[in-house]
Amino acid sequence: MTIPALRFAGVGKSYGATKILDDLNLEIAEGEFFVLLGPSGCGKTTVLRMTAGLQPVDRGEIYLRDNPLSGVPPERRNIAMVFQDYALYPHMTVYHNMAFGLRRHGHGRAEADARIRKTAALLGIQPLLERRPHELSGGQQQRVALGRAIVRDPALYLMDEPLSNLDAQVRAGVRTEIKELQRRLGVTTLYVTHDQIEALTLADRMAVLNEGRIQQVGPPLDVYRAPANEFVASFLATPKLNLFDGTIERVDGAVLVRTAIGTFRSPNPPSALGGRTAVRVGLRPEEIKVSFALREGEPSLAIRLLEPLGSQVLAIAERDGADVTISVPADAVPEKAERLGVVPAGCVVHLFDRDDGVAVAHFRSA
Amino acid sequence: MIRRSASYAVLVAGLVPLLLPFYWMAVTSLKPKREIFTATPQWLPAHPAWDNYLLAWTAEPFARFFFNSAVVTALIVALQLVLASLAAFALSRFEFHGRRIIFWIIVAALIVPVQVTFIANFMTLAHFGLLNTYAALIAPYAASAFGTFLLRQAFAAVPRQLEDAARLDGCSGLAFLWHVLLPLSRPTVLAFALVAIVAHWNDYFWPLIVTNNNAVRTLPIGLGMFIGQEVTTDWNLLMAASIFVSAPMLLLFFFMQRYFVQSMLRTGIRG
Ligand SMILES: Nc1ncnc2c1ncn2[C@@H]1O[C@H](COP(=O)(O)OP(=O)(O)OP(=O)(O)O)[C@@H](O)[C@H]1O
Ligand SMILES: [Mg+2]
C-alpha cells in the first residue's frame, strides 16, 4: 500500500457558530493533479489555507506523506501556494519575487540564481525578470506566480482559482500550460475552482464540495457521467440541469420514465431503482436529443429563445409551464425554428430520489 | 497652448507673494547696514556683505544650536517612525481584545492640541529632574498619534494574500513588517517623516519652555534670543541667522521634492 501524498482525516472548521467544513476526508496520491470543485463560499480557500498552515484546523488532522501537519509552521511545511490574486510583492522585481522565498529558506545566492534561471526558462519568463508586477499583463503575472511556487521545488502545490482573474482567451491557454507543467514536474497538486470546465480538463481525480461536505470523489468523467446526487449533476451542467418530476412504470421488464417533456425507456431496469414509482429526473442540456422535423400531431415544445454560442445553440423551450434548456449543434437548427420535439431514444437520463436527491440510476434511453 | 500659458501665469502669480519674503530675507542678509533702510526698495545689495554670516554665526553659539537641533530632530523622528511602525503593525494586522478602542483613542489623541499637554509634561519632566536635557526635548514627542494613524491606514490596505504569501516564504512577524509592509508604505513613511522633520526642526514653544541653557538650546531659540537681546536690531544679521534655520529645510525639500509630491498624492488618494 502506498502512502498518500496528502490526506485529510475528519477535518472540520467553524467560524464562530458557522460550520464551514464538516468531517472532510480525502486522500490524494503522489503526483496526482487533484481538483476540488465547489460553489463560491463553500470553503475551498479555507481548505487550502489550513493545508498551508495559514489557518488552524479545528477538528481532525491533515497529513503530508503521513506526517501530521498540525503544529508545523507554514514555512516548514514544504508547500507552495498560488493565490487567486497572485499576491506578488508589488515592490520587488519578478526576479526578487522568486528569490525572496528561496533566500529566506536559507538557499545561497548562487543556488537561488540557478533555480530562478531554470524556472524562468521553463515558463518562458526570462525577459520579464527585471520587471515589477505592475508592468506585467494578467497572464504574465499568473506565470510569475506559478514560477514563485515552482522555484521552491515543494512537495505539494496548492492553487486557489489561479485562472479566475484571466480573460477567457488567456485562460484556456494558461490552463493547458498548467496541466502540461504539472505532468512534466510530477508534483502533487491540489487545485480548487468553482469552474466545472477547469475541473474536468485538469483533474486526474476530482472532488465536489458543497455545504462543508464532499459530495463525490472520482475521475472527472466518472463524476460527470454518474453524478452522485442532484447537486453534483446540476453543478456539472452548463448552463443548468433540467429537472422534472417523473413517474416510473414497469413494462415487459423494461422501465418507462414519464416526464413533462417526454417518456424515456430503459431496456434493463437499474437495480438501485428498487420499488420506487416516483423520482426526480435530470437531463443536461447537451444530453437531450431533439428533432426539428416534426410530424403532424407529434408532441412538441415551443421554442422561447435561441441563444447562439457559435458551434452550439442553446434552445430555451417550454411545455405546460416547464422550462427546458437544450444545447443543439448550430447547423441542426433550421431558420425560424418555432418548435422542437424531444427524441425519446438516445437521451442521457439521471434519476434521483425525490426526498434526498441521491442518484438512483443513470442510463441512455432506448 | 494658450491654456497652458494661462495656467503658468496663474502659477507665477501665486508664487510671487510666496517667494518674495524668502527673497527679501536672502537679500537683506547680504546687505551692509546702511543699505537696509532706504527710501526706495533696493532689490539687490550694492556691496554684498558676506561677512554678515560670520558675524551672525558667532554672535550666539549657533554651531551648538545647530548640532542640538539636528540631534533632537533626528532622534524624535527616528523614535516616532519606530514606535508608529510597531503600533500600526499591531493595530492593522493582529486580532486582539481592545484593538478598536486603542485605535479610537489614538484618533482622539489627534484632536487634542499639543499645547494642552505642555503643563503636565513640564511638571513630569521637572519631577524627574530632566529639564534642560535632550530627554526633555525628545521624550514628549517620541510617540506620534498622527504617524501611527497614517501608517495603520497604509498597512491595513496591504491585502491578506500578500501576508499569506510572505508567511509561506518564511517571512512573518517583524520580518513581514520590514520586508513587505514598510517598503510598500514608503510614500506614507516619507511624507510623514518630512512633515515631522519640519515640525520639530522649527518648533519654538516647547524648547523655549524646557531649556534655559545654551548647551541644549535649539536653533529657533537661538534665533529668538538674537532678536530679544539687541536693543537696535541688526536686521541683516538676523536675516542671516534666519537662513541658518530655514536653509536645511529648503535643501531637504529641494532634494526630496520628487518623493514628497508623490507621497502627498498617494496618501491623499488612500485617505
Ligand atoms: N475569517 C473569517 N471569519 C468568518 N467567516 C469566514 C472567514 N473567512 C471565511 N469565512 C466564511 O467561510 C466560508 C468559506 O470561505 P472560503 O473563502 O473558504 O470560500 P471559497 O470556497 O474559497 O469561496 P470563493 O469561491 O468565493 O473564493 C465563506 O462563507 C466565508 O464567508
Ligand atoms: Mg476562495
What average pLDDT does chain A have?
A: 93
The whole-number pLDDT of residue B262 equals 67
- Residues B64 and B8 occupy one common structural domain: no
Q: Cα(B262)–Cα(B260) distance, rounded to whole angstroms? A: 5
B258 found inside a domain: yes
Amino acid making up residue B109: A
Ordered by where they begin, the domains of chain A are 6-234 (3.40.50.300), 243-364 (2.40.50.140)
Q: From chain A, pick out residues whose CB is under 8 angstroms from the CB of B166.
A: 89
Residue from B143, B137, B176, B142 nearest B159 by CA: B176
- What is the pLDDT at residue B170? 94
pTM of the model: 0.87
pLDDT for A323 equals 86
Q: Which residues contact B7 (CB under 8 A, 6 or more apart)?
A: none
For residue B111, what is the domain's CATH number?
Answer: 1.10.3720.10
From the CB of residue B142, how many other CB atoms can be counted at a distance below 10 Å? 14
* A346 three-state secondary structure: coil
Give me the pLDDT at residue B269, please. 41
Tell me, yes or no, whether B3 lies in a domain: yes
Residues B94 and B168 in one domain: yes
Predicted pLDDT of residue B231: 55
Instruction: Write the residue in A74, A90, A91 that is nearest to B168 by C-beta.
Output: A74
Same domain? B41 vs B65: no
Choosing from A14, A45, A82 the residue with most ligand 1 atoms within 8 A of its CB, the one to mutate for a pocket test is: A45
Regarding whether B70 and B27 lie in a shared domain, the answer is no
Residues B73 and B16 occupy one common structural domain: no
- Provide the residue range defining the domain that includes B3: 1-49
- Could you tell me if B40 and B84 lie in one domain? no
Residues of chain B with pLDDT under 70: 1, 229-232, 260-271
Does residue B251 sit in the same domain as residue B134?
A: yes
Q: Does residue B35 belong to any structural domain of this protein?
A: yes
DSSP secondary structure, A161-219, as one string: STTTTS-HHHHHHHHHHHHHHHHHH--EEEEEES-HHHHHHH-SEEEEEETTEEEEEE-
Listed residues: CB within 5 A of ion ligand 2:
A 45
Beta partners for residue A190, in sequence order: A34, A158
Could you tell me if B155 and B76 lie in one domain?
Answer: yes
* CB A41 less than 6 A from any atom of ligand 1: yes
Tell whether B107 and B200 lie within a shared domain.
yes
Residue B76 domain flag:
yes
Q: What is the mean pLDDT of chain B?
A: 89
| Claim to verify: residue B130 and residue B225 sit in the same structural domain | yes
B187 CB-near residues (< 8 Å, 6+ apart):
B259, B262, B263, B266, B267
ipTM: 0.87
Cα separation, B34 vs B52, in Å, equals 13
Low-confidence ranges of chain A (pLDDT < 70): 1
Q: How far is the CA of A48 from the centre of ligand 2 (A)?
A: 9
pLDDT digits (tens, 9 = 90+) for A286-324: 999 999 888 877 788 999 999 999 999 999 998 877 889
A188 near A31, Cβ under 8 Å?
A: yes
Give Cβ neighbours of residue A248 (< 8 Å, ≥ 6 apart): A255, A256, A257, A273, A276, A277, A278, A279
Residue B107 and residue B2 in one domain = no
Do the domain assignments include residue B144? yes
Same domain? For B171 and B129 the reply is yes
Report DSSP letters for A233-257, one per residue. HHHTSSS--EEEEEEEEEETTEEEE
Q: How many domains in chain B?
A: 2
Residue at B54 is within a domain: no
Question: What's the pLDDT score for residue A295?
Answer: 80
CA of A40 to the centre of ligand 1 (A): 8
Backbone phi and psi for residue A166, each to the nearest 5 degrees, phi listed first: -100, 150
pLDDT at B270: 38
